[in-house]
Structure 1
């Protein structure tokens, strides 16, 4: 389904961690929340664009109604209040291989379905990383649960050499975010593909889109939008890929950029 909408309408795609949600305060800055609401009042479409799933977002206290729609799990599951816009789960054959490998020589994997998370086991590394991202501890379930429903993302906590050897047999892409943790999605899954699916659905032209991020995995999102904006707290390589660099998330950076691009319909105060 493609919505019949004005192709001149603007859309903003917002990363969550480090862009909208501050890990310093454990919340969305008031100025950012104000900017998002003013932009929507101004007729701008807003979409969350995150590696998290809905369970995690709600666990952080983020209201899903804050946005017009969501690109979750790095583009693997995109939806609005009408339903699913785009879906790209990990292949069932790949999940079967992973489950067999873990049964043979166990290591922790965090699995994300469309609206729930579960893990097969915990260790000290898992607990340390979960604390870093302010995420609630998901329940422990049988590894076989990973075959019972579509899995859109998994995060293995495993030695780099072992994981790279396993990767050779999988149709996935993996982004390493610490030396023991990876974000793993289908080989065709990116935030950029999720953005394209949303733009096609709403009839939005690329030149009318803005992508806000701070991390390396936000670079494809910036390239997929008309204007890429990096937060002042962002990584150097992300800043180099951006068209515009705004202030730090905790120093009204998101609000300042929204006003700079006329998204709120007001002058900077």
Structure 2
């Protein structure tokens, strides 16, 4: 059997912000690796926000922050950080237009708890709990934020279009469908940086043929990797655009989606 490199999104694909990683997903990816294939995490989460439930999966490596950070076997190989002055300007701009900035880095995430509350995002406290000592406030760190990307949280009355225009020199924008888990979030990633770029870099570095690439995903920040990879598997809970691009739509992750998808492909 040809050996594959399988790239998995995190949220909505192999993990849930409240429930963690289903046992079936952990078991299936472990079997995948034991069968000699590679398993890569390819997530919009920054490296600082990869919790223990994902660390327990035997990933070959991780592509985090939509391709801005890459590691293999626990060693960081690449980390695309925004200049600190751009990070500060970005924070000021988002606030000016009524959005809440969540600044995401490889070592820390930065946000102010009195601003980023459960009224803005119901799972804000869960993020703080998961981060532990990897959380820092923006206040007091304005000139020392080491970030890879931003999650801008929309609020009623905000002018997100104006904010994105003003920041367009530095960032590409990822918008999510309104009914998605992150429907009120706009992701701002460094220009030219996305999950597909991260996957392509891994393939170049480790001599992985394009024909051997497989991706699993569910949301619109997976679109680039679905447009790039050879074989695409959408989760049953996936966005309309993701399901349209998929070669196969599996079940959702809590109904054995990862196991069913890997079985369908003959990888486990």
Provide the TM-score with structure 2 as the length reference: 0.83
Flag the 1:73–1:215 CA change in 2: closer, same or farther, 3 A. same
* Coordinate RMSD, CA, aligned: 2.8
- Normalization by structure 1: what TM-score? 0.82
Q: Could you say if the C-alpha distance between residues 132 and 144 of structure 1 is closer, same or farther in structure 2, counting changes exceeding 3 Å?
A: closer
Q: Among 92, 97, 109, which residue is 2:101 paired with?
A: 109
CA contact (8 A) 2:97 2:160 kept: no
> What is aligned with 1:197?
201
Give, in angstroms, the shift of residue 99 of structure 1: 4.5
Give the aligned partner of residue 5 of structure 1. Answer: none
The change in CA–CA distance for 1:38 and 1:103 in structure 2 (over 3 A counts) is closer
Query: Over residues 143-192 of structure 1, what are the superposed CA-to-partner deviations in whole Å (9 max), with x where a residue is unaligned?
Result: 46253253101122345753322332332112234565321111111000
Conserved? CA contact 2:13–2:216, under 8 Å: yes
- Long gaps (5+) in structure 2: 177-181
Distance in 1 (CA, whole Å) between partners of 2:10 and 2:210 is 21
Q: How many residues align?
A: 255
Unaligned runs of 5+ in 1: 1-7, 265-269
| Correspondent of 1:148 among 141, 144, 150 | 144
In the aligned structure 2, how far is the partner of 1:158 from the partner of 1:19? 24
Q: Within 1, Cα distance between the matches of 2:103 and 2:116?
A: 18
Q: Which residue of 1 aligns with 2:179?
A: none
- For residues 207 and 118 of structure 1, what CA distance do their matches in structure 2 show? 39
1:44-90 Cα distance to aligned partner (Å, 9 max, x none): 0110011112332225x322662110011111111113633333333
Offset of residue 243 of structure 1: 1.0
The residue matched to 2:7 in structure 1 has which SS? strand
Q: From the superposition, tell whether residues 35 and 168 of structure 1 become closer, same or farther in structure 2 (CA, over 3 Å).
A: same
Structure 1 position 127, deviation (Å): 4.6
Deviates more, 1:9-18 or 1:113-122: 113-122
> Does the 8 Å CA contact 1:109/1:121 hold for their aligned counterparts?
no
Instruction: Give the Cα–Cα distance (whole angstroms) in 1 for the partners of residues 70 and 90 of structure 2.
Output: 25
Query: Deviations 1:111-164 (Å, cap 9, x if unpaired)?
Result: 111121121353376554151794225645244625325310112234575332
Give me the whole-angstrom Cα distance separating, in 2, the residues matched to 1:82 and 1:109: 29
Query: Is the alpha carbon distance of 1:74 and 1:133 closer, same or farther for their aligned partners in structure 2, counting shifts above 3 Å?
Result: farther
